[in-house]
Chains A and B, each alone.
Chain A
């Protein structure tokens, strides 16, 4: 304690500025966490957090018994599952492909172009998606060639997931490859030399040097991704879904948005959101612990 006091006297500015920054996080991040008690109340804006009636777990029970419960959980898991299956490996694959290219100008051009969709706003992307998958849209007509009979893909429930996942890949494959390219550049070049001397061909070099070299990065990104499994990008969902695709498109976060901010059921939607965050948090901790145990790589 005296050590801290002495340190404070020496570095007053650091303490005051650091204190202000912590205050910022207390107000904008920790107060909302405290606001989660709403989930256990029948919160009314007029009564405030301290005046509202406590109802225990009633809001959670309401969610578990709601007809939406199964739908939003299943949709969230399926959409996230597909995303993990296709969208997670895609940028790793792209990084491997780019890494083999020796022509710098070509490599840089491909990078610039594939990064581009990441910088386009969600509103514009969803506007283009709707335009292309509407009746008579380019993609809808293309799908007809492959035997689809949907007049409009964006209004067909079975097309929502493919549209969502494929456009996700389109948006992020380039940008997400950056982290893996950086990891590839960090692989010790002497290892390749050694592998060549041992007579390893290109494929064996990839298998025994490249892959183990970036495995920790893949692992870290995977842990982060698993922590996000319950959080489907709801901005994109609420921009893309419509009354006819609700059955496959509605996810937990879009449901929270709808009942919370459109229907103003504050307590109920906070309960649904809290249920979601707790599962996410547990998933992240589990993924981290498993990775620590089996691959000695971990986030924290």
Chain B
């Protein structure tokens, strides 16, 4: 279909593209600045007050050397990996099982259950009662405190349940005739058929755990349990960089490397996620479906 486009339309499209390019640049600039700064010369960087698009001074990997030698960053990184893997496995598995059970038409109390579950989206006990609960369950200063209370996200549950409901019942029935149990049906039929939705939920849950900071800040006060975000908060907001384990010349010039290390730590912490999300981008619509909220 070919329609002649007037000059007004052309002007509009050009302006549209220009606005989008500017917006994209605005979104990109702070991140680009961070990458450039992390490879910059520490002295030049400490005196720099401009937005960077390219390392300033002689490019160097000094910041990365310091970060790699820093014990708290390493422990934080490993802890975060644990929270992400354990939290995502538990969370997605529990969400999938819940979505499966509550999407069965043969399960009579399904609607009642969904009502009980959905209500928690509208109203909750709030910060302090939740904290007291976690405390009285003995979860303070345990790894479980970051995994259990947030295991099932109701929004994800509803999204996945809606996806499951879109799968024809006949598949389940024929599997049942072949003697398949509920678990088999969930793992071999439903999860594979809803894999795009599942993938997006896995990503969102993993990112939640990777970036989660607040829960750790209130539930944990043992340094060996701290996730990376708490270490980052110390480095970025309080300016604390523990330089134990770094070589003497670096430790003696603490203030010199301060800014550089801040940027390097940010890069180290955001790169894994920035490498993953673009691959699932086209499925994001499946994870945020508004239509899924109703019902």
Also in contact, A173 and B23, with CB within 8 A (given A113-B28, A126-B237, A235-B213): yes
Docked-complex contact A98 and B20, CB < 8 angstroms: yes
Q: Does A156 sit at the interface, judged by CB under 8 A?
A: no
Closest Cβ of chain B: how far from A237's Cβ, in Å? 11
Docked-complex contact B128 and A266, CB < 8 angstroms: yes
Docked-complex contact A123 and B232, CB < 8 angstroms: yes
C-alpha gap A227/B122 in the complex (Å): 8
Q: Does A293 sit at the interface, judged by CB under 8 A?
A: no
Cβ-closest chain A residue relative to B218: A261
Total interface residues on B, CB under 8 Å, equals: 83
CB < 8 Å neighbour of A101 from B20, B50, B149, B214: B20
Contact with A along B76-110 (1 / 0, CB 8 A): 00000000000000000010011001101011111
Also in contact, A22 and B113, with CB within 8 A (given A31-B133, A179-B288, A270-B126): yes
Chain A residues within an 8 Å CB radius of B168: none
Chain B residues within an 8 Å CB radius of A100: 12-13, 16
A-contacting 9-mer, from B53-61, B66-74, B248-256, B268-276: B268-276
CB < 8 Å neighbour of A235 from B101, B182, B214: B214
Main secondary structure of the interface of B (DSSP, over half): helix
Q: Does A269 sit at the interface, judged by CB under 8 A?
A: yes
Docked-complex contact A3 and B108, CB < 8 angstroms: yes
Chain A residues within an 8 Å CB radius of B177: none
Q: Does A170 sit at the interface, judged by CB under 8 A?
A: yes
CB < 8 Å neighbour of B51 from A4, A138, A196: A138
Docked-complex contact A256 and B127, CB < 8 angstroms: yes
Q: Does A207 sit at the interface, judged by CB under 8 A?
A: no
Q: List 26 A-B contacts (CB under 8 A).
A: A10-B106, A13-B183, A14-B107, A15-B107, A15-B109, A21-B98, A35-B128, A111-B281, A112-B281, A116-B28, A121-B211, A121-B213, A121-B229, A121-B269, A123-B211, A127-B236, A127-B266, A138-B33, A170-B27, A179-B290, A182-B290, A183-B290, A217-B290, A220-B290, A220-B293, A257-B127
Give me the interface of B with A, judged by CB distance under 8 Å: 3, 9, 12-13, 16-17, 19-21, 23-24, 26-28, 30-31, 33-34, 49-51, 94, 97-98, 101-102, 104, 106-110, 113, 116-117, 120, 122-133, 135, 148-149, 151-152, 181-183, 207, 210-211, 213-214, 218, 229, 232-233, 236-237, 262, 266, 269-270, 273-274, 277-278, 281, 284-285, 288-290, 293-294
Also in contact, A261 and B127, with CB within 8 A (given A11-B106, A119-B207): yes
CB < 8 Å neighbour of B126 from A11, A202, A256: A256
Also in contact, A18 and B128, with CB within 8 A (given A106-B17, A121-B211, A178-B285): no
Closest Cβ of chain A: how far from B232's Cβ, in Å? 5
Docked-complex contact A114 and B152, CB < 8 angstroms: no
CB < 8 Å neighbour of A110 from B9, B23, B106, B277: B23
Q: Does A251 sit at the interface, judged by CB under 8 A?
A: no
Docked-complex contact B27 and A174, CB < 8 angstroms: yes
Cβ-closest chain A residue relative to B118: A300
CB < 8 Å neighbour of B181 from A13, A25, A256: A13
Docked-complex contact A281 and B123, CB < 8 angstroms: yes
Task: Across the A-B interface, give the 7 residue pairs with the lowest CB-CB distance, nearest first.
Answer: A32-B125, A35-B129, A127-B236, A121-B211, A32-B129, A273-B126, A29-B120
- A10-B106, A115-B281 are known; give 14 further A-B pairs, CB within 8 A: A13-B183, A15-B109, A18-B101, A97-B19, A97-B20, A110-B24, A112-B278, A113-B24, A116-B27, A123-B233, A130-B236, A173-B23, A179-B289, A270-B128
Also in contact, A14 and B232, with CB within 8 A (given A24-B94, A178-B284, A260-B127): no
CB < 8 Å neighbour of A128 from B17, B30, B132, B278: B30
CB < 8 Å neighbour of A138 from B12, B16, B49, B108: B49
Chain B residues within an 8 Å CB radius of A3: 108
Closest Cβ of chain A: how far from B94's Cβ, in Å? 7
Closest Cβ of chain B: how far from A107's Cβ, in Å? 8
Chain A residues within an 8 Å CB radius of B19: 97
Chain A residues within an 8 Å CB radius of B94: 21, 24
Which of A100, A116, A256: most chain B Cβ within 10 A? A116
C-alpha gap A29/B233 in the complex (Å): 29
CB < 8 Å neighbour of B285 from A123, A182, A281: A182
Size category of the A interface is 35 or more
Closest Cβ of chain B: how far from A57's Cβ, in Å? 17
Chain B residues within an 8 Å CB radius of A137: 49
Docked-complex contact B285 and A110, CB < 8 angstroms: no
Docked-complex contact B127 and A178, CB < 8 angstroms: no
Q: Does A249 sit at the interface, judged by CB under 8 A?
A: no
Cβ-closest chain B residue relative to A138: B51
Q: Does A94 sit at the interface, judged by CB under 8 A?
A: yes
Docked-complex contact A277 and B34, CB < 8 angstroms: no
Docked-complex contact B182 and A14, CB < 8 angstroms: yes
C-alpha gap A120/B97 in the complex (Å): 29
Quick one: which of A13-67 are within 8 Å of B by CB? 13-15, 17-18, 21-22, 24-25, 27-36, 38, 45
Chain A residues within an 8 Å CB radius of B125: 29, 31-36
C-alpha gap A299/B294 in the complex (Å): 6
C-alpha gap A94/B19 in the complex (Å): 9
CB < 8 Å neighbour of A277 from B124, B132, B262, B277: B124
Quick one: which of A216-240 are within 8 Å of B by CB? 217, 220-221, 224, 227, 235, 239
Contact with B along A72-105 (1 / 0, CB 8 A): 0000000000000000000000100110110000
